[in-house]
């Protein structure tokens, strides 16, 4: 072999040949050599009587193909319209889906952060921390940014917009909606106290928020954006303060909840003792949400003001659910309270979020 | 004004950003045809402009329509500076000129820029209104259909095959024009692209004219190539087979196979068979070839032509010196053919003899040209004898004076002849006219006026645009037209001559034929010739271009003639080789060149054959127009004067038998029967009675360049065989170089042949199909690559093993070594037999009282005749080991050879490969299809390489490439790589380039094992499902469509009878009886499948509503749950084959012939050479697909990459690549879809399919 070297080596199929495994290596930012090594360990060779050279050639070739496709993947609708590569539709879908897929570990690092150049610069830290290659980090970050940019200003359903422009699966589109939503509202997710939460926890919460607290949530006809919270609603949340400022109302609320829960939970005493604190916490969060800064702290506030106290009192998830159900519903009985709609809209989301977030 | 071309620019999309400030583009479009240009409005600030222009109308001659492409340029409007070009689209109008092809071109075309590649797409609509034109001085040939397909196209019937058509046009290469120094690379590339497009159009038009003159309406097997001769110009040449095709009106009409009737005729007509026998003659001389070597049997190496023969004496000597072992079997063209000829009463046959020495001088230019011309004239006279009065001895007579010393001239003198300057007197033209003068020199002054219009035409038009030295070529073009006009007028008078001329060569570019067409096959005939490109030709040119401009006319007149003459010589040689094999025609004919600096190797090869004249126009076949006539006039031949060219056929002693007294041979073996006379073979061939019909003689091996006839009986499966060879050569210039090359050529041919033969034996097979031998020349080496598909023909004898014989039996370790090797070889053979299921029936020997003669000694020494070994002598006693094929290890080379023999690794399990259309022995193709092109360039380090080292490298290179292909396509298993077409080149000193284009096709393994039964339905259903998972396009319904098997139907119907009657049990691998049942069960399956799918489908794509049926549309909508509503891209399949399994081609839309140049000055940024070429090939595919889709098609068949010239300069970060591709745009329909229409399943057995 020493006497010759391959100067050029290409393979082009009329139907573009792509191996999903190799694609994944490429997406994961492997070098060709690494990919070849991993593939060899995977045993493709015995399977097909090939040599390392053959594997190298194939890997190079595919990496090149992916690289050429990358431009198109940035605008997936182009992939269906372009003439350069003939790729069957289901393969196109696979290419797109995988390209836009991301690592949970990575997304946790950037979730809620501004998708700016500054953040991008810090990706090498993220890479070091998560063990994900820098190349892959960059791709994922750029994907977030690209999706964000496209849908940021679009009206209508966030998920649908993403799906339409990026041809992603429902699941992935919803995840991206969460990412965009978090990035847009800059929710703080990186604090130590929030570390125990997974991306999926946040994504769940994001869906709740998008479905209930944005303008599009209440009125489908309103051509507004899903990315921004309903300002009016946030404004109205101030009215909930009466639940903690009006002493009668607070007491009445507490007694209603206690009556309902008595004998049904092991942490009844702790609950009774903490009721006012917990209620104040939840209502205060609501009342502050009109400030953008406090919106960012929404999740940390939930943890600090509600989840942690309950956890230290060893509430079970069942206890939480029971409590929040009665806590929410009891308000309906308070005659003097006039903001039932706002309350339900608020508590519906908060309850779901807390239930999702209440774990180890 | 016979035509109105209309174009409409609809919209653009994905345009590049041309204005950095706005990130947008202000695009407009220029539409140009000829010298007329229209522009659209500027569509401001958009990357997806909607021009929706008016119809731009061009009123043009149909001649222009044929020559010119429609040129669409997309530009970015710039108020202050010059408008920037975004890119161009060239649209070939030709498909619109035939009423049967496309009617409109409409679709998205990639906007292509030679520097940036594809930059967005443009939607264009083009139509043509043709007026009837009764101008009898027609220069256009609108309506003549062109097909790259080398068989009768699927939805046509061949009413008549007229024969060979060829043409070439020459021009200056814009890349080498002075203006190239001042223009941008882009302008230069575009000039070149446009010029080649023009030349191709012109060439096609001219070929079309010839076809019309012959009375045909189509060219099949159209093969166009171009030669980049550098400084000396650019040649675009084409060959093809003129036919009269009749469209099978509709699918029901398609029912009777196109060729059925003829084949029926064969059976009915007593005349059907005779030709075969008629061909036998008392003298069938293999033209050259090794005396005693099997080479001669069906491998006509016409090695050395011109210069080679010139050097022959010289070479002879050197051969003798090389060692005794080489002499006996060395291939000596010309020489050996004499003895047999001398027996012949007709002196004309000497032509093949004398022509060779004559070629000696053709080495160089005009002076030699005149000689060579004459030499060919002598040959021509032969074929034209009826009209020529030239005395039999003519050739020699007038040759001698013109080249008194040359034929015997020793090399030193010889070289002098090269320097003869092209004086006007010597540069005399030859006319193939039946004038009594042929061979007579015209006074120089006469030259132009007498000169044959056509050539002049070529020259004139060729040089016309080039001579203008500019892009436009306006005035000169006009001049050219005038010239053409006058030439044409002349031609009007001489049309009969042309007619004769075109019939001069009984060549057919077809590789597969309707049943009954091919009667016998003689073997491969090939010829090569080394030429010096003519810098010498126009000495003044080097200094001043004005020379050309001033005198372009005469200059032009010379040049194409030279090229024409070159090819004519080669063809003559081929023709005489064919005759020597007792054949009157050459099929599977092709031509190629390899150019390095100023040396050019011309090659031609084909398969000598005897064809059934019924299909052909009278006179199309050489001396073999009509058997009945022959029978009526037997006396003519003995007279030998007037019809001298018939000599080889009818005089044969058994001509009476030939004329119908014997029953026809069965189609499954008839073609194997020797066309030559067994009693007069000047080489010891090993003939036996046909193992299939037992009635006629067959050779022990058969080499051909054609596809295996569909009706042939084979045992087991075939496989790809390659012979690979590199030979070092000293760097040299001019004639020294040419001499060196020509000296090497015969050895290379010989070596390649030896390798092929050995590898064939090693696989236990006995025939090669699709043989293609390419020899490429580089500065310091020659590279040879022979590819073929080996099979075991049931009709031929079982090949024996390979016996290794040592030279010195004394050494014991050596003996051991030998026996080890022998064991290895035996094992390999056994393994191969198992692998390819080659289990020939063992009935043969038992036949008692059979007319088979005592098995003669079949073994032949390839390497040597030195008979020191016991074994050899024993074998020579012709007893016992009847089949052993002896390889003598007499030198290290031989050891190497045997080693390399054993290093060829078989394809991995589940893979088969062949270089013919389909693999013999596989009949049940499914619809998985993957066409691909792979290119590799290897750099040899400049270490001291030996020939052996080099060989090893080259061998590894090819093997690794194949391995890579198998690996890439492993998901398609079980599959077969079909039509594997390797092309080698030596682009630079230490570079070897190998390009491969092929198609991987899936097949059904179960059925391949022949044990597929109806009871297996369920498993089969499962197989379908599983299969789909693997397919690239799942849910293509007819994955398992019954007619995927192009063979079975035919066998099941027309051929069944004969096949049953004659097939040996093994060979008839299709279970005929169950066929009909199987068929109906297939249909059921498919219906079932289709229903489920339809129910499940969400919607069908809009493309279905378009003119073209796009079955993929459905599958697309099926699989994806999300809608790709925006997608307008139709799937276009591409394949090098002439068909797509499981489908029927319902319409041919026209020929695709595209030439692209891509250049970069930022090689590294584009991913290096690989990135650059990868992108370019993908772009070429994309452009081909787009053009096909715009014609309304959904596939390209007979696709091939004719040219892939890659040049790099990594130091400058630059690279350039030229690619030429061609194919036939078609509309195909799934058999399952067709099946919905009332046509019964059997109708799918269309004629075309039979010919596969």
Provide the whole-model pTM. 0.75
In this prediction, residues A113-122 reach a mean pLDDT of 86
Nearest residue in A to B998, CA atom: A13
A67 touches chain B (CB under 8 A): yes
Nearest residue in A to B941, CA atom: A3
Q: Is A57 close to B964, i.e. CB distance below 8 A? A: yes
Q: What is the pLDDT of residue B910?
A: 84
- Given a cut of 50, whether residue B431 has pLDDT beyond it is no
A62 touches chain B (CB under 8 A): no
Residue numbers in B near A89 (CB within 8 A):
1116, 1119-1120, 1124, 1127
Work out the number of other CB atoms within 10 angstroms of the CB of residue B997. 24
- Given a cut of 70, whether residue B800 has pLDDT beyond it is yes
**Which of A56-60, A226-230, B161-165, B783-787 is least confident?**
A226-230
Sequence-ordered list of residues with C-beta below 8 angstroms from that of B538, at least 6 positions apart, any chain: B547, B548, B555, B558
* CA distances in angstroms from B911 to B785, B835, B867, B930, B980, listed in the order given: 22, 11, 41, 14, 13
Instruction: Match 């994309």 to its residue by tokens.
Output: B1182
Specify burial of residue B867 (Cβ count, 10 A radius: 0-12, 13-18, 19+): middle
Q: What is the pLDDT of residue B811?
A: 66
Q: How confident is the model at residue B4 (pLDDT cuts 50, 70, 90)?
A: confident
For B849-860, the pLDDT digits (tens) are 434 344 333 333
In this prediction, residues B274-302 reach a mean pLDDT of 31
* CA distances in angstroms from B769 to B58, B703, B720, B766, B793, listed in the order given: 48, 6, 10, 10, 11
Q: How far is A167 from chain B (nearest CA, A)?
A: 8
Q: What is the pLDDT of residue B264?
A: 35
Residues 1050-1109 of B with CB under 8 A from A: none
CB B740 within 8 A of CB B796: no
Q: What is the pLDDT of residue A44?
A: 73
Sequence-ordered list of residues with C-beta below 8 angstroms from that of B1008, at least 6 positions apart, any chain: B922, B923, B924, B974
CB-nearest to B108 from A2, A3, A83 is: A83
Q: Is A51 close to B963, i.e. CB distance below 8 A? A: yes
B960 touches chain A (CB under 8 A): yes
Q: What is the mean pLDDT of chain B?
A: 65
Choose among B908, B922, B1114: nearest CA to B1001: B922
Residue B759 has which token pair? 């590898």
Q: What is the mean pLDDT of chain A?
A: 88
B1129 touches chain A (CB under 8 A): yes
Residues 382-441 of B with CB under 8 A from A: none
Q: What is the pLDDT of residue B693?
A: 78
Q: Is B1134 close to A14, i.e. CB distance below 8 A? A: yes
Q: What is the pLDDT of residue A95?
A: 93
Higher pLDDT, B901 or B834: B834
Residue A313, helix vs strand vs coil: coil
In this prediction, residues B397-405 reach a mean pLDDT of 27
Residues 662-681 of B with CB under 8 A from A: none
Q: What is the pLDDT of residue B815?
A: 75
CB-nearest to A67 from B929, B941, B1167 is: B1167
A221 touches chain B (CB under 8 A): no
Residue numbers in B near A84 (CB within 8 A):
110, 118, 1178-1179, 1182
Instruction: Match 């070159």 to its residue by tokens.
Output: B566
Q: How far is A164 from chain B (nearest CA, A)?
A: 9
In this prediction, residues B271-297 reach a mean pLDDT of 30
CB-nearest to B1169 from A8, A65, A167 is: A8
Q: How confident is the model at residue B895 (pLDDT cuts 50, 70, 90)?
A: low
Name the maximum alpha-carbon separation found in chain B.
96
In this prediction, residues B530-546 reach a mean pLDDT of 51
Q: How far is B1147 from chain A (nearest CA, A)?
A: 21
Cα torsion angle, B631, B632, B638, B640, sign: negative
Measure the CA–CA gap between B486 and B1126, rounded to whole angstroms. 55
Q: How confident is the model at residue B224 (pLDDT cuts 50, 70, 90)?
A: very high
In this prediction, residues A178-190 reach a mean pLDDT of 90
Residue numbers in B near A50 (CB within 8 A):
963-964, 966-967
For B670-683, the pLDDT digits (tens) are 788 877 776 666 55
DSSP state of B273: S
Choose among B359, B777, B705, B769: nearest CA to B526: B705
Q: What is the pLDDT of residue B1045?
A: 37
Q: Is A14 close to B1133, i.e. CB distance below 8 A? A: yes
Residue numbers in A near B1201 (CB within 8 A):
none
Choose, out of B1122, B1206, B1219, the residue to mutate when testing the contact with A (most A CBs < 10 Å). B1122
Q: Is A10 close to B932, i.e. CB distance below 8 A? A: no
Q: What is the pLDDT of residue B897?
A: 64
Cα torsion angle, B409, B415, B419, B424, sign: positive
Specify burial of residue B401 (Cβ count, 10 A radius: 0-12, 13-18, 19+): exposed
A172 touches chain B (CB under 8 A): no
For B62-111, the pLDDT digits (tens) are 778 888 899 999 999 987 778 888 999 999 888 888 777 778 899 999 99
In this prediction, residues B1046-1073 reach a mean pLDDT of 34
Measure the CA–CA gap between B1109 and B1111, rounded to whole angstroms. 6
B1126 touches chain A (CB under 8 A): yes
Q: How confident is the model at residue B1007 (pLDDT cuts 50, 70, 90)?
A: low
Instruction: Match 């009269």 to its residue by tokens.
Output: B244
Measure the CA–CA gap between B590 and B583, rounded to whole angstroms. 17
Contacts of A326-329 spanning 24+ positions with Cβ under 8 A: A326/A256, A326/A257, A326/A260, A326/A261, A327/A253, A327/A257, A327/A278, A327/A279, A327/A282
* CA distances in angstroms from B228 to B59, B567, B993, listed in the order given: 34, 16, 17
- Given a cut of 50, whether residue B259 has pLDDT beyond it is no
Give bridge partners of residue B507 from the DSSP assignment. Answer: B586
Q: How confident is the model at residue B1006 (pLDDT cuts 50, 70, 90)?
A: low
For B1103-1154, the pLDDT digits (tens) are 333 333 334 333 333 333 343 444 567 889 999 999 998 888 988 999 999 9
Q: What is the pLDDT of residue B889?
A: 61
Highest mean pLDDT among A47-56, B36-45, B292-301, B384-393: B36-45
Q: Is A58 close to B968, i.e. CB distance below 8 A? A: yes
* CA distances in angstroms from B523 to B79, B583, B609, B651, listed in the order given: 68, 9, 7, 22
Q: How confident is the model at residue B892 (pLDDT cuts 50, 70, 90)?
A: low
Q: Is B1129 close to A83, i.e. CB distance below 8 A? A: yes
Choose among B242, B191, B192, B198: nearest CA to B221: B242
Q: How confident is the model at residue B533 (pLDDT cuts 50, 70, 90)?
A: confident
Measure the CA–CA gap between B1052 and A292, rounded to whole angstroms. 81
* CA distances in angstroms from A9 to A64, B1173, B1207, listed in the order given: 11, 9, 14
Q: What is the pLDDT of residue A85?
A: 92
In this prediction, residues B236-242 reach a mean pLDDT of 92
- Given a cut of 60, whether residue B1043 has pLDDT beyond it is no
| Start-end of H helices in B724-778 | 734-762
Q: How confident is the model at residue A4 (pLDDT cuts 50, 70, 90)?
A: low
Q: What is the pLDDT of residue B563?
A: 80
Residues 93-112 of A with CB under 8 A from B: 93
Q: Is A83 close to B1033, i.e. CB distance below 8 A? A: no
For B444-497, the pLDDT digits (tens) are 332 222 222 333 233 333 333 333 333 333 443 444 444 444 443 443 333 333
Q: How confident is the model at residue A225 (pLDDT cuts 50, 70, 90)?
A: low
In this prediction, residues B252-276 reach a mean pLDDT of 35
A57 touches chain B (CB under 8 A): yes
A77 touches chain B (CB under 8 A): yes
**Which of A310-314, B385-389, B604-608, B909-913 is least confident?**
B385-389
CB B396 within 8 A of CB B356: no
CB-nearest to A4 from B953, B964, B1179 is: B953
Measure the CA–CA gap between B387 and A148, rounded to whole angstroms. 84
In B217-279, DSSP assigns E strands to 218-228, 234-247
Cα torsion angle, B455, B458, B461, B464, sign: negative
Higher pLDDT, B834 or B314: B834
Q: Is A89 close to B1129, i.e. CB distance below 8 A? A: no
Q: What is the pLDDT of residue B482?
A: 43
Q: Interface pTM (ipTM) of the complex?
A: 0.89
For B1148-1192, the pLDDT digits (tens) are 999 999 999 999 999 988 889 999 999 999 999 999 999 999 999
Q: How confident is the model at residue B513 (pLDDT cuts 50, 70, 90)?
A: confident
Residue B350 has which token pair? 């000497």
Q: Is B964 close to A6, i.e. CB distance below 8 A? A: no
CB-nearest to A81 from B13, B967, B1134 is: B13
Measure the CA–CA gap between B747 and B487, rounded to whole angstroms. 45
First-to-last alpha carbon distance for chain B, in angstroms, is 43
For B5-29, the pLDDT digits (tens) are 999 999 999 999 988 888 889 999 9
In this prediction, residues B543-548 reach a mean pLDDT of 33
Residue numbers in B near A92 (CB within 8 A):
1124
Choose, out of A1, A47, A69, A86, the residue to mutate when testing the contact with B (most B CBs < 10 Å). A86
Q: What is the pLDDT of residue B257?
A: 37
Residue numbers in B near A58 (CB within 8 A):
964, 967-968
- Percentage of chain B exceeding pLDDT 90: 21
- Given a cut of 70, whether residue B537 has pLDDT beyond it is no
Q: Is A14 close to B1126, i.e. CB distance below 8 A? A: no
Choose among B330, B369, B331, B372: nearest CA to B354: B372
Residues 940-959 of B with CB under 8 A from A: 940-941, 943, 945, 949, 953, 956-957
Helices B366-383 & B411-419 angle (0-180, nearest 10): 100
Measure the CA–CA gap between B1252 and B925, rounded to whole angstroms. 13
Instruction: Match 């940035």 to its residue by tokens.
Output: A74
DSSP state of B832: H
Residues 87-146 of B with CB under 8 A from A: 108, 110, 118, 121
Backbone angles phi, psi at B1010, to 5 degrees: 65, 5
Residues 361-390 of B with CB under 8 A from A: none
Q: Is B1179 close to A7, i.e. CB distance below 8 A? A: no
Specify burial of residue B413 (Cβ count, 10 A radius: 0-12, 13-18, 19+): exposed
- Given a cut of 60, whether residue B354 has pLDDT beyond it is no
Residue B685 has which token pair? 């061939």
Residue B346 has which token pair? 């007709």
CB-nearest to B1171 from A15, A16, A64 is: A64
A2 touches chain B (CB under 8 A): yes
For B675-726, the pLDDT digits (tens) are 777 666 655 667 778 877 777 888 888 899 999 888 888 888 889 999 999 9
Count interface pairs A-B at CB distance under 8 A: 176
CB B1007 within 8 A of CB B1030: no
Give bridge partners of residue B75 from the DSSP assignment. Answer: B28, B85
Task: Find the Cα–Cα–Cα–Cα dihedral B320, B326, B331, B336, rounded to 10°.
Answer: 60
Give bridge partners of residue B58 from the DSSP assignment. Answer: B5
Choose among B652, B633, B629: nearest CA to B641: B633
């Amino acid at each position: 072999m020493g006497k010759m070297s391959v100067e050029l080596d290409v393979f082009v199929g009329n139907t573009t040949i792509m191996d999903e495994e190799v694609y994944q290596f490429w997406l994961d930012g492997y070098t060709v050599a690494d990919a070849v090594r991993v593939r060899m360990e995977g045993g493709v060779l015995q399977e097909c009587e090939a040599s390392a050279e053959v594997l190298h050639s194939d890997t190079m070739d595919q990496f090149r193909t992916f690289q050429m496709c990358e431009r198109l993947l940035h605008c997936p609708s182009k992939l269906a319209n372009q003439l350069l590569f003939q790729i069957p539709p289901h393969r196109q879908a696979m290419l797109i889906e995988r390209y836009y897929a991301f690592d949970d570990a990575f997304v946790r690092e950037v979730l809620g952060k501004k998708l700016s150049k500054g953040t991008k610069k810090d990706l090498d830290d993220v890479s070091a921390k998560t063990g994900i290659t820098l190349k892959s980090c960059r791709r994922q970050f750029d994907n977030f940014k690209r999706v964000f940019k496209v849908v940021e200003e679009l009206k209508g359903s966030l998920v649908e917009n993403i799906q339409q422009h990026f041809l992603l699966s429902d699941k992935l589109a919803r995840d991206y909606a969460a990412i965009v939503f978090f990035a847009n509202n800059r929710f703080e997710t990186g604090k130590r106290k929030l570390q125990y939460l997974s991306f999926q926890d946040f994504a769940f919460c994001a869906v709740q928020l998008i479905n209930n607290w944005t303008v599009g949530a209440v009125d489908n006809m309103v051509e507004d954006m899903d990315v921004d919270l309903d300002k009016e609603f946030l404004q109205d949340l101030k009215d909930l303060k009466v639940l903690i400022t009006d002493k009668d109302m607070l007491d009445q609320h507490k007694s209603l909840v206690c009556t309902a829960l008595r004998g049904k939970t092991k942490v009844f005493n702790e609950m009774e003792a903490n009721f006012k604190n917990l209620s104040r916490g939840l209502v205060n969060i609501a009342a502050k949400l009109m400030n953008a800064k406090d919106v960012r702290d929404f999740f940390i506030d939930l943890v600090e003001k509600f989840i942690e106290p309950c956890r230290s009192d060893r509430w079970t998830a069942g206890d939480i659910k029971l409590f929040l159900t009665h806590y929410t519903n009891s308000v309906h009985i308070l005659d003097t309270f006039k903001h039932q709609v706002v309350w339900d809209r608020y508590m519906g989301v908060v309850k779901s979020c807390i239930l999702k977030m209440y774990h180890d | 004004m016979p035509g109105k071309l209309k174009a409409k620019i609809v919209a653009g999309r994905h345009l590049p950003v041309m204005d950095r400030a706005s990130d947008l583009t202000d695009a407009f479009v220029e539409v140009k045809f000829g010298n007329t240009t229209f522009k659209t409005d500027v569509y401001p600030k958009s990357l997806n402009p909607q021009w929706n222009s008016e119809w731009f109308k061009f009123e043009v001659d149909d001649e222009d329509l044929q020559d010119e492409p429609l040129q669409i340029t997309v530009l970015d409007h710039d108020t202050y500076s010059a408008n920037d070009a975004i890119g161009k689209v060239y649209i070939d109008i030709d498909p619109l000129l035939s009423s049967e092809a496309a009617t409109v071109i409409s679709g998205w075309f990639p906007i292509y820029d030679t520097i940036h590649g594809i930059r967005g797409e443009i939607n264009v609509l083009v139509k043509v209104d043709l007026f009837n034109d009764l101008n009898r001085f027609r220069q256009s040939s609108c309506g003549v259909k062109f097909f790259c397909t080398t068989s009768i196209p699927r939805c046509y019937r061949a009413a008549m095959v007229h024969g060979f058509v060829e043409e070439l046009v020459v021009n200056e290469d814009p890349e080498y024009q002075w203006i190239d120094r001042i223009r941008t690379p882009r302008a230069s590339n575009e000039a070149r692209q446009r010029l080649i497009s023009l030349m191709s159009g012109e060439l096609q038009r001219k070929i079309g004219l010839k076809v019309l003159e012959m009375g045909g309406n189509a060219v099949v097997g159209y093969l166009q190539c171009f030669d980049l001769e550098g400084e000396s110009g650019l040649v675009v040449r084409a060959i093809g087979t003129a036919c009269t095709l009749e469209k099978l009106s509709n699918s029901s009409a398609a029912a009777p196979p196109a060729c059925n009737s003829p084949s029926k005729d064969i059976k009915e007509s007593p005349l059907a068979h005779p030709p075969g026998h008629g061909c036998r003659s008392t003298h069938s001389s293999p033209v050259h070839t090794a005396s005693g070597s099997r080479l001669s049997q069906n491998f006509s190496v016409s090695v050395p032509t011109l210069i080679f023969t010139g050097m022959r004496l010289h070479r002879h000597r050197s051969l003798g010196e090389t060692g005794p072992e080489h002499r006996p079997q060395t291939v000596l063209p010309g020489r050996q053919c004499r003895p047999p000829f001398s027996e012949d009463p007709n002196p004309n046959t000497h032509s093949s003899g004398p022509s060779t020495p004559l070629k000696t001088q053709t080495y160089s230019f005009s002076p030699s040209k005149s000689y060579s011309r004459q030499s060919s004239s002598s040959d021509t006279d032969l074929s034209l004898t009826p009209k020529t009065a030239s005395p039999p001895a003519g050739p020699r007579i007038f040759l001698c004076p013109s080249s008194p010393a040359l034929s015997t001239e020793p090399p030193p003198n010889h070289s002098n002849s090269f320097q003869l300057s092209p004086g006007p007197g010597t540069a005399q033209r030859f006319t193939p006219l039946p004038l009594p003068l042929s061979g007579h020199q015209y006074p120089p002054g006469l030259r132009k006026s007498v000169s044959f219009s056509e050539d002049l035409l070529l020259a004139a038009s060729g040089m016309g645009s080039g001579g203008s030295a500019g892009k436009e070529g306006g005035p000169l073009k006009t001049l050219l037209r005038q010239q053409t006009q006058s030439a044409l007028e002349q031609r009007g008078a001489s049309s009969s001559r042309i007619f004769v001329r075109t019939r001069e060569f009984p060549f057919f570019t077809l590789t597969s034929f309707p049943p009954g067409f091919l009667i016998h096959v003689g073997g491969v005939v090939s010829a090569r010739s080394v030429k010096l490109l003519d810098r010498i030709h126009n000495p003044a040119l080097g200094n001043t271009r004005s020379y050309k401009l001033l005198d372009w006319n005469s200059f032009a007149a010379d040049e194409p003639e030279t090229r024409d003459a070159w090819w004519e010589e080669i063809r003559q040689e081929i023709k005489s080789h064919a005759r020597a094999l007792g054949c009157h025609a050459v099929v599977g004919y092709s031509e190629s060149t390899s150019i390095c600096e100023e040396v050019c190797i011309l090659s031609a090869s084909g398969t000598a054959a005897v064809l059934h004249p019924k299909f052909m126009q009278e006179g199309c076949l050489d001396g073999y127009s009509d058997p009945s006539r022959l029978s009526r006039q037997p006396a003519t031949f003995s007279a030998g004067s007037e019809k001298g060219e018939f000599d080889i056929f009818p005089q044969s002693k058994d001509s009476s038998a030939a004329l119908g007294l014997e029953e026809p041979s069965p189609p499954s073996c008839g073609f194997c029967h020797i066309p030559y006379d067994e009693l007069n073979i000047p080489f010891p061939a090993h003939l036996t009675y046909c193992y299939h019909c037992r009635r006629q003689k067959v050779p022990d091996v058969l080499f051909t360049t054609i596809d295996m006839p569909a009706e042939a009986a084979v045992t087991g499966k075939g496989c790809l065989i390659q012979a690979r060879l590199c030979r070092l050569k000293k760097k040299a210039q001019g004639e020294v170089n040419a001499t060196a090359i020509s000296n090497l050529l015969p050895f290379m041919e010989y070596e390649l042949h030896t390798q092929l033969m050995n590898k064939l034996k090693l696989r236990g097979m006995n025939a090669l199909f699709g043989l293609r031998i390419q020899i490429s020349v580089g500065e310091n080496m020659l590279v040879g690559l022979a590819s073929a598909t080996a099979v075991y023909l049931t009709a031929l004898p079982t090949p024996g093993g390979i016996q290794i014989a040592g030279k010195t039996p004394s050494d014991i370790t050596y003996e051991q070594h030998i026996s080890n090797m022998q064991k290895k070889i035996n094992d390999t053979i056994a393994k191969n037999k198992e692998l390819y299921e080659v289990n020939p029936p063992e009935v043969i020997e038992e036949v008692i009282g059979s007319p088979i003669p005592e098995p003669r000694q079949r073994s032949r020494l390839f390497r040597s005749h030195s008979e020191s070994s016991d074994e050899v002598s024993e074998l020579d006693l012709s007893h016992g080991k009847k089949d052993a094929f002896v390889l003598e290890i007499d030198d290290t080379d031989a050891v190497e050879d045997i080693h390399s023999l054993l290093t060829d690794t078989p394809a991995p399990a589940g893979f088969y490969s062949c270089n013919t259309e389909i693999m013999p022995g596989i009949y049940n193709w499914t619809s998985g299809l993957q066409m691909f092109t792979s290119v590799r360039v290897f750099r040899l380090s400049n270490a001291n390489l030996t020939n052996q080292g080099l060989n090893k490298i080259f061998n590894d290179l090819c093997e690794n490439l194949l391995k890579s292909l198998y690996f890439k396509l492993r998901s398609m298993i079980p599959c077969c790589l079909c039509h594997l077409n390797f092309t080698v080149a030596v682009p630079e000193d230490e570079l070897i380039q190998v390009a491969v284009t092929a198609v991987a096709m899936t097949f059904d393994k179960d059925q391949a094992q022949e044990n597929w039964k109806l009871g297996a339905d369920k498993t089969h259903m499962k197989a379908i499902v599983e299969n789909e998972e693997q397919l690239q396009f799942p849910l293509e319904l007819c994955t398992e469509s019954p007619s995927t098997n192009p063979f079975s139907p035919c066998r099941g119907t027309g051929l069944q009878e004969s096949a049953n009657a004659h097939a040996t049990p093994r060979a008839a691998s299709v279970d005929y009886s169950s066929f009909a049942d199987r068929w109906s069960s297939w249909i059921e399956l498919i219906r079932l499948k289709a229903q489920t799918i339809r129910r499940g489908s969400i919607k069908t794509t809009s493309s279905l509503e378009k003119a073209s049926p796009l079955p993929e549309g459905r599958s697309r909508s099926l699989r994806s749950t999300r809608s790709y509503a925006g997608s307008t891209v139709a799937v276009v399949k591409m394949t090098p084959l002439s068909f797509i399994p499981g489908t029927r081609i319902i319409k041919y839309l026209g020929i695709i012939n595209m030439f692209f140049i891509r250049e970069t000055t930022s090689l590294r940024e584009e991913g290096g050479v690989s990135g650059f070429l990868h992108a370019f090939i993908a772009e070429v595919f994309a452009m081909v697909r787009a053009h096909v889709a715009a014609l309304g098609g959904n596939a390209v068949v007979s696709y091939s990459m004719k040219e892939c010239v890659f040049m790099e300069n990594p130091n400058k970060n630059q690279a350039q690549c030229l690619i030429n591709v061609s194919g036939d745009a078609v509309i195909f329909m799934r058999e399952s879809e067709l099946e919905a229409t009332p046509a019964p399943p059997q109708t799918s057995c269309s004629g075309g399919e039979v010919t596969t």
